[in-house]
Amino acid sequence: MLDQKLAEAMQRILSRQDERFTLTATLQRLVDDGIGTKRGKSVYFYERDRQAMREWLEAKGFSTEPVDMSGMSRAERLEVTPHEKAGGEAVKRNRISIKALAGQALVIGGQPINLPEESHLDVDWTKIVSQIGHRCIMVVENYESFNRIHETSFKLPVEYRSPLVVYRGDPHESRIDNVLMFLGDAKLPVLAFVDADLAGVVIAASLPWLVGMVTPDLPTLGKQLSSPQIGRRDLFQNQYPSVQNAIAEIPADAPCRGVLNLILKYRSAVVQEYWIGRDTCLLTDQDSQDRDLAFARRGQY
């Protein structure tokens, strides 16, 4: 059977003038199929063997030369291999999931788009990054909170009241590396709507252009963290060993520091799904004027 791995081995052989190659498990498969001459720990491929390889590759739809398939779409790969998934390139390359808050339009390229509840657009961020009609971006950690964003109430500063809402991603829906590249290129203020736990703070701290975390006000969040019914002390204990070094590196004046201090104080956590339909979430860092000044000094606004 001619698979991608064996085809690539034959392409490498055909691209070189050498007759002698070190015997590997893959080349042993060729010998077993009557191609090549095995001598000790080496295998020799003569012109008759090369011709047999060319004919086999062409008959099965493979290129006879090595091809760099990184960056190719599945359709493009089918020009050089019958295996459209070959090459290791993610099918959803550059894809992110976006929407707007309840009652607001998603604005891309000057065009308002009104989406139904529990829906979003899956887009190539490179095609829309220069056409965003929003003044800021809200990154949402968990898919349920992203999908049901219309059920959460927000009280945001006027300049941040109409964010582009972006799902942080997972291995199935989108990918965090795509989101981070998008945020870096968009150069808009970023609001982190994440779990009020150590992992959530680490996520927030890693986001480019971060201006603050979105949670209930800090007194309310403190009550939730200290509540035996709401606070997740087990989650804190589970996360702390793996993130303690990361949180130690978060600066004292970081926009996520207020939430982090509360989490450390109560040694507890609150998952953001708890706020769906319950609490009003706002930007929990310094006041709006100080935030804008800090952003301007960094040349980010």
Q: How far apart are CA 235 and CA 107, in angstroms?
A: 37
Cα–Cα dist 179/146, whole Å: 14
The pTM score is 0.69
| pLDDT for 290 | 44
Average pLDDT, the chain: 87
**Whole-angstrom Cα distance, residue 116 to residue 188?**
25
Q: What is the mean pLDDT of residues 236-244?
A: 94
Structure tokens at 228: 């035996």
**CA angle, 53 then 16 then 67, to 5°:** 70
Give percent above pLDDT 90 in the chain. 70
Distances (CA, A) of 64 to 29, 46, 67, 75, 210: 18, 16, 9, 18, 49
DSSP 8-state symbol, 135: S
Residue by residue, DSSP assigns 150-171 as GGSEEE--GGGSSPEEEE--BT
Determine the pLDDT at residue 75: 55
Measured between alpha carbons, how far is 213 from 280 in angstroms, rounded to an integer?
Answer: 13
pLDDT value, residue 93: 75
Angle at CA of residue 181, ends 178 and 185, nearest 5°: 140
Give the single-character DSSP code of 115: P
Cα–chain-centroid distance for residue 223? 33
Q: In this predicted structure, which of 12-16, 157-161, 223-227 has the lowest mean pLDDT?
A: 12-16
Q: CA 145, 146, 149, 151 torsion: positive or negative?
A: negative
Count the Cβ atoms, other than its own, within 10 Å of residue 19. 16
* pLDDT bracket for residue 81 (50, 70, 90): low
Q: How far is CA 143 from CA 53, 111, 134, in A?
A: 49, 26, 21
Percent of the chain with pLDDT over 70: 85
pLDDT tens for 40-49 read 999 999 999 9
Dump pLDDT digits (tens) for 154-213.
Answer: 999 999 999 999 999 876 667 888 999 999 999 999 999 999 999 999 999 999 999 999
Average the pLDDT over 6-35 and give the result: 91
Cα separation, 7 vs 12, in Å, equals 9
Q: What is the mean pLDDT of residues 7-24?
A: 91
Residue 271 has pLDDT above 80, yes or no: yes
pLDDT of the residue at 63: 83
- Angle at alpha carbon of residue 275, lines to 269 and 277, rounded to 5°: 165
83 falls in which pLDDT band (50, 70, 90)?
very low
pLDDT confidence band for 79 (50 / 70 / 90): low
On the question of pLDDT at 123 being above 80, the answer is yes
